[in-house]
Each structure stands twice: as structure tokens, then as C-alpha cells.
Amino acid sequence: MAAPRNGDAAASAAVLFVCLGNICRSPLAEAAFRLEAARLGLDVDVESAGTGDYHVGEPPDRRAQAVARRNGVDISTYAARQVTEEDFRRFTHVVALDLQNLEALRLRRPGDATAELSLLLDHVEGRAGEAVADPYFGDASGFDTTWADVTAGARALARRIAEER
């Protein structure tokens, strides 16, 4: 199953997943959320971005691509981008993967922002305040753990959005 980005699609909810470089955790969260939204029949605009500009224009880490592919999603066409001020107006939910990125988002958030900021695992019962660990400097097994975490968070957030409609 391909996971095309639909940034121009009209949707009543829009979710942006954010990590540091937008090549590991946030693209996987985007992919997991797309799967769950499709399963629930949600019309949701979904993207990912990074607070840093280290990897702008690059595809996701090859290990992230591999774990996504094993779970039925192709993220090879994704390109890393950095969060913009407009993201805080365009997206209804801006979801950080860890506390450092959540704080960076709070500092960048413009005064007229409408997006709800949250930490992904805050949406999972019993996991409030937990970060999705960055697998970048580890081996491939860390990406399996990341996939499990972002899938749990994506399922919980998608259910919440579905219930709010």
C-alpha cells in the first residue's frame, strides 16, 4: 500500500507529526496514522515535519523505510521538511514525538495558532509523558520499537478524532 501525502486535500481534521529531523519517527507516525485513519474511514490530512533543518529534502532513513514496508506502507517518496509557522494554522493537531520537540513547537507557535499541541503517547492510556525514543543512532531493532510506539499512538489519536466527529 502506497502512502501518498495529501497536503492539498480538503479534510475536517489535519494532523502533523513532528520529530527532530523528519527522517525516522515522524514519517513512521504519519504512515501508521494513515493506516489507522483508512481503517476507520477518516478523511484526515496527514503529514510529518521536523523541528530541525538537518535533513530537508531527504527521504526517510532506510531503516524507517524497511520497517514501514514490512508493515505494508511505502514511505520511500516522503521528503523531510521543517515545521513552518503556517503549520500551526493549517493543522488541527500538531503532535510531537518527544518532550524536546514539544517544547520547541511551543516556542515557535505563533500567537494566532489554532493547532492543538500534544505529545503522541499522551493519547495512549497509561503512557502520558512518554517519548517515542529516537532510533537513529541504534540498530534496526530500534525501528521496530518505534513502529510499535507510533502505531499505538496513531490508533489512540485516530480513535479520539473519530469520536469527536
State the Cα–Cα distance between residues 120 and 156, nearest whole angstrom.
Answer: 9
**CB neighbours (10 Å) of residue 64?**
26
Q: What is the DSSP string of 65-100?
A: HHHHHHTT-B-TT----B--TTHHHH-SEEEESSHH
- Residues assigned a catalytic role: 19, 25, 134
- The residue whose grid cell reads 532506510 is 62
